[in-house]
Structure 1
Amino acid sequence: MTNAAVDRMLTVTLRVSRFTPKPERPGRRRGGSPFGSRSKSPFGADAGAGRTNRARGKRWTQDYTLDVHASDSVLDCLLAIKREQDPSLAFRYSCGHGMCGSDAVAINGTPTLLCTAKVRDWVRPDTPGFVGDDGFRPTGEPVDADAHALDLDALDPDTTLVIELAALPGFPTQRDLIADIDPMLDQIRKLEPYLKAAGELQVTDEGKINAFEYLQNPEQLARYELLSNCIACGVCEGSCPVYAGGDAFIGPAAMIAASRFINDSRDNATASRLTALMEPDGARACQSVRACSMHCPKGIDVGEELWQTIQKVDAARVSSEAE
């Protein structure tokens, strides 16, 4: 792909799955997993509390056509639509640089971040049954230069290009492209994602805090450093075929949060963290599909990390049963 093609002007149609909710009736429940029960969560709180069944409201698909640079992000496109075509279109974003994770949606069926998704990587011909050179229709993954990216240089000027957008799967939709990620955040909180040290301060002979006693060597830091980059965007949750609101499976994001502290040499709560993951909707609910690893915006191999954590949970279970 030439430099001119990378930043050429394209006429693109954004096909947006829209939703406007109806006012909720008192006492009506919505949301939650079709696989999970309404019983009390093994992690303490009622897993269905505050959530009701699938939100009722108006659902429709709306097309927006605009001229953009191939190097523009999909978020840039939505902001242009918001300013110039339809101020009622609802989507969430904050930093715009892939750091906050607030703008996770499904693009062409793939959970990813709006701000890091470039138009040139995601446009596809608006042709029924479109297939790439490898014989597969490129949905569920980005059309990138290393896979089946469109040759923009050879593109017919009359080709209609589309990008399909929908709210992040696995969560209740609040409005248009805004998903309710509170279920995921609740599950993360239940695993207490904060350092639990002994609370005994090491001091010098002069009675001052000895900071050197709390330093880690590079090997200890490397065990959890990458996991600290998790931005709780929900991309791994939206990719997981088991997670659906957290009722049946506490989810990969929560397990990554727990793994970050299980792997921290300064944390003294490893045993209780592993015990918490022994619950039915914990480690044993993971089916090791590893779809969670495919599109993590921070480069975490979520599936591999979950597998390593599951091995630790199983070892802890065997040890506890042998005692």
Structure 2
Amino acid sequence: MNATVEQALALWGFAGASWSLVAARENQVFRVDYADRTYALRLRRPGYRTEAELRSELMWMAALDRGGLHVPRPVPSASGALLHMVGAHAVDVLTWLPGAPVGKTGVALQVKDSITLFRNIGREMARLHEVSDSWSRPEGFTRQSWDRAGLVGETPVWDRFWDNPTLSDADRLLFLRLRDTACDRLAQIGDKLDFGLIHADLVRENIMVDGDRLQLIDFDDGGFGYRLFDIATTLIRNQNEPNYDGLKAALIEGYLSVRDLDLAALDLFIVLRAATYVGWIIARMNEDGSGARNARFVTHARALARAYLSEQGATR
């Protein structure tokens, strides 16, 4: 891996820079210090995204930066390219954003004013959608889509949650009913819902705080989707907070202060977002800690699915 990083650094004219691994999730992220500046170098997970998808992500991030959002800005290599292949890895370099994440999933929020924080998150999310809608996408732009097919079709973006191999027979039937109900509901209302580019993973770890400034990072899962999916993503990771109702109201208030959004189907997207994790974990069952995470995902999605289906009169 050292040789891969060193080759990548040379492509950006950073030979001799100091570097260290700071994150190893879907991608490996390295902090690079060179000529009194700091950068983030990413080795992208082989096979997870096509080169066209990765280039599209970088062009989108550059557009968001130009639109005034605080996001990592892609840094061209010495040849002017935003992306290079080094062995099996696609590599890119971004500006380094200071600050710290809002928090960690599963750990109680430790901020002085969580209501103001979530109101500001709502505003930034809305600004992201607004700037994305005003951007003229270049020819060849391509990203995955969380449309009806991407959520509950035969080959969803994050796998078939109803086929998670750890499910009991009862849970499998429950999730199949959820899938059928969601398919029908989205067929009825999908064309009326706000749809466009979304971040799709605005969880605490991907929202950085630097003073009064909020910064959005990790667009790896960004693509086309229902705007309610973005709101649901932020909300479901905070449902255990004692003031969840207040956080939810603040997030929505902040969003609506920037742009309109029909919230009538929000409960549907909250339960679907929980279900996506039950599918997402299928390909990661052999990773450390996956058993405990899978159990949490299934438990959470089960509770939300039961409540939603009961409200819809879809239980049997």
Q: Is TM more than 0.5 here?
A: no
- For normalisation by structure 2, the TM-score amounts to 0.25
Q: Which has the higher helix share?
A: 2
- For normalisation by structure 1, the TM-score amounts to 0.25
In terms of Rg, which structure is larger?
A: 1
